[in-house]
A and B are shown apart, each in its own frame.
Chain A
Amino acid sequence: MGLAAEKGKVAEILNSTRKEGRRELMELESKRVLAAWGVPVNRTELARDISEAVKFAREVRYPIVLKIASPDIIHKSEAKGVRVGLSSELEIRQSFGDLIDNARAYKPDAKILGVTIQEYLPPAREVIVGALQDPSFGATVMFGLGGVWVEVLDDISFRLAPLSAEDAREMIQEIKGYPVLAGIRGTPPADVGALVDIIQKVGQLAHEFSEIAEMDLNPIFTFDDGKGAMVADARIILVESK
Chain B
Amino acid sequence: MSNEVKAIFEPKSVVLVGASDGIREGIVSPAFFHSLVHNMHRFEGKTYVVDLSGKLEGAIKNLNQVPKGRDLAVVVLPSKLVMKNWRNLLNLVMKAIVLVAGGFDQQQREELARGVAKRKVCILGPNATAGVINTSKGLCATLERGFMPSRGGIAVISQDSAVGMAILDWARFHGVGVGKFASTGDSVDVTEADLLEFLMHDEETKVICIYLQSVRDGRRFLGLIREAVRKKPVVVMKGGTAQDERDKIFAAYLKQVGAIRVDIVEELLGVADALAKQPPMPGDRVAVVTNADGAATLVADALSRKEFALAKLSDKVTKKITRKYQDINIVEWVDLGIGAKADRYKFVLEQVLSDHGVDGVVVMNELKLSFLEPEDVQAIAEVAEKSKDKPVVSVTVAVGAGVLVREAVKGKNIPVYDSPEKAVRALDALRSYWKTRTRVEKGV
Which positions in A face B, CB cutoff 8 Å?
134, 136-138, 140, 156-160, 163-167, 170-171
Contacts and interface: CB of A to CB of B under 8 A. Distances in A.
A234 B216 CA distance: 32
28 contacts: A136-B215, A136-B216, A136-B217, A136-B218, A136-B219, A137-B215, A137-B219, A137-B249, A137-B253, A138-B218, A138-B219, A140-B249, A156-B248, A158-B249, A158-B252, A158-B253, A159-B252, A160-B222, A160-B252, A160-B253, A160-B256, A160-B257, A165-B444, A166-B439, A167-B256, A170-B255, A170-B256, A171-B252
B252 A157 contact: yes
Contacts of A138: 218-219
Nearest to B442: A166
A159 B256 contact: yes
B246 A134 contact: yes
B86 to A, nearest CB: 30
Given A136-B216, A137-B219, A138-B218, A164 B246 contact: no
A158 B257 CA distance: 13
Nearest to A167: B256
Interface of B: 215-219, 222, 246, 248-249, 252-253, 255-257, 439, 444
A172 to B, nearest CB: 13
Contacts of A137: 215, 218-219, 222, 249, 253
Contacts of B444: 164-166
B248 A158 contact: yes
Contacts of B249: 134, 137, 140, 158
A157 B251 CA distance: 10
A158 B255 CA distance: 10
Contacts of A134: 218, 246, 249
Contacts of A167: 256
- Give the dominant DSSP class at B's interface: helix
B278 to A, nearest CB: 26
A164 B218 CA distance: 19
Contacts of A159: 252-253, 256
A160 B252 CA distance: 8
A39 B63 CA distance: 66
Contacts of A166: 439, 444
Between B215, B219, B252, B255, the greatest number of chain A beta carbons within 10 A of the residue's beta carbon is seen for B252
Nearest to A166: B444
Contacts of B218: 134, 136-138
Contacts of A170: 255-256
A35 to B, nearest CB: 28
Contacts of A171: 252
A134 B253 CA distance: 11
A214 to B, nearest CB: 14
A196 B255 CA distance: 18
A166 to B, nearest CB: 4
A164 to B, nearest CB: 6
B193 to A, nearest CB: 12
Given A134-B218, A137-B218, 18 more contacts: A134-B249, A136-B217, A136-B218, A137-B215, A137-B219, A138-B219, A158-B249, A158-B252, A159-B256, A160-B252, A160-B253, A160-B256, A163-B256, A165-B444, A166-B439, A167-B256, A170-B256, A171-B252
Contacts of B216: 136
Nearest to A141: B252
Contacts of A164: 444
A160 B223 CA distance: 11
A63 B138 CA distance: 79
B268 to A, nearest CB: 22
Nearest to A154: B248
A166 B257 CA distance: 12
Contacts of B257: 160
Q: What are the 3 A-B residue pairs with the smallest beta carbon separation, nearest first? A: A137-B218, A158-B252, A136-B218
A122 B257 CA distance: 38
A159 B256 CA distance: 7
Nearest to B444: A166
A226 to B, nearest CB: 23
Contacts of A158: 248-249, 252-253
Contacts of B252: 157-160, 171
Contacts of B439: 166
Nearest to A139: B219
Contacts of B222: 137, 160
Contacts of B253: 137, 140, 158-160
Contacts of B215: 136-137
A26 B420 CA distance: 56
